[in-house]
Amino acid sequence: MHTWGFALSAQLLATRLGVPYGEMHVIRNGSGRVTALELGHISISGDRVMQLLHLRSTWFELGELTLDGARASVVYGHEAALLASARGTGGAQLQELTGHGWVTLRHVRTTGRVFVAPRAYTIYRLSVGTVRGPEVGIGVSPLVHARLASPTLLTGRVEPRPNGAVTVSRFVAGGWKVVAYPRLDARGIFRTPLRLRPGGYRIDVAGDGRLAPSTRRVRVTSRILASLHH
């Protein structure tokens, strides 16, 4: 009964206390009990906070956990930056959700950027003991390699191999027209017969839930085609 805790979003905390959210400052008496909570420019008594948040006593700690992703998705093989902050908590654990549950990656004791390297869509969170903090999902787009092997052959590789469809489009008359449907082997490699012409081409990989959509553009010029003939 003496150890307990829970997490509230900043918006929910402000709603329950009935005041706008602002910088938190806790005022305690000599025994360590909370006598007042200052939220922005508004002060609320410790007894009132206990009542509104349904706490067990005025002997409690308040901390802030923040986790933000600079980007919603990254390209496979690249790192994603997360801004993590653990204030007034004595530190927190940065965790990722795997097929075997939540796994701790590292400890966060201050405010700063941490880098993660997801291989597919992954959810990350901060936690302190039994308190589960904010979560951030990072998507991963496949890395698409493309090579003009000859004037009639487009080759490449998609990493990792997706379950979504792969198409090749050519820019014609102001729009994109699908001209090929590459088939990937077990390693994600494709060899697509295609009569190449000067202009823009686009390789699209559809999302499949595990991986986000991805696009790679290729510019074909008359000079490039001439070099392929040689």
For residue 172, pLDDT over 80 is answered with: yes
At which residue do the structure tokens 């530190």 appear?
A: 91
Q: What is the mean pLDDT of the chain?
A: 92
Q: For residue 161, give the DSSP letter.
A: P
**Rounded to 5°, angle at Cα 3 from 11 and 5:** 10
For residue 179, pLDDT over 70 is answered with: yes
pLDDT at 21: 85
Residue finishing a domain among 124, 140, 156: 140
Q: What domain range is 108 assigned to?
A: 64-140
Looking at the structure, do residues 146 and 221 belong to the same domain, yes or no? yes
How far apart CA 105 and CA 128 sit, in angstroms, is: 13
How far apart CA 76 and CA 134 sit, in angstroms, is: 24
Task: Label residue 202 by pLDDT band (50, 70, 90).
Answer: very high
Contact yes or no for 21/10 (Cβ under 8 A): yes
Structurally, the chain folds into a number of domains equal to: 3
Model-level pTM? Answer: 0.82
For residue 88, pLDDT over 90 is answered with: no
Task: Label residue 5 by pLDDT band (50, 70, 90).
Answer: confident
For residue 17, pLDDT over 90 is answered with: yes
Looking at the structure, do residues 182 and 160 belong to the same domain, yes or no? yes
pLDDT at 230: 66
pLDDT digits (tens, 9 = 90+) for 107-160: 998 888 999 999 999 999 999 988 888 999 999 999 999 999 999 999 999 999
pLDDT at 52: 94
For residue 80, pLDDT over 90 is answered with: yes
Q: What is the pLDDT averaged over residues 213-218?
A: 96
Q: What is the pLDDT averaged over residues 27-45?
A: 93
Q: What is the pLDDT averaged over residues 190-206?
A: 96
pLDDT at 157: 97
Q: What is the pLDDT averaged over residues 71-79?
A: 91
How far apart CA 93 and CA 132 sit, in angstroms, is: 10
Instruction: Give the CATH number for residue 158.
Output: 2.60.40.10
Instruction: Say how many CA atoms lie within 13 Å of 13 toward its Cβ.
Output: 19
Looking at the structure, do residues 45 and 102 belong to the same domain, yes or no? no
Looking at the structure, do residues 131 and 156 belong to the same domain, yes or no? no
Q: What is the pLDDT averaged over residues 22-41?
A: 91
Residue finishing a domain among 140, 155, 175: 140
Looking at the structure, do residues 32 and 42 belong to the same domain, yes or no? yes
pLDDT at 89: 84
How far apart CA 57 and CA 34 sit, in angstroms, is: 9
Checking DSSP bridges between strand 80-87 and strand 101-108, what pairing results, if any?
A: unpaired
At which residue do the structure tokens 């420019």 appear?
A: 41
Any bridge partners for residue 206, and if so which?
Answer: none
For residue 208, pLDDT over 80 is answered with: yes
Looking at the structure, do residues 97 and 111 belong to the same domain, yes or no? yes
Checking DSSP bridges between strand 73-75 and strand 131-141, what pairing results, if any?
A: parallel
For residue 70, pLDDT over 80 is answered with: no
Looking at the structure, do residues 161 and 180 belong to the same domain, yes or no? yes
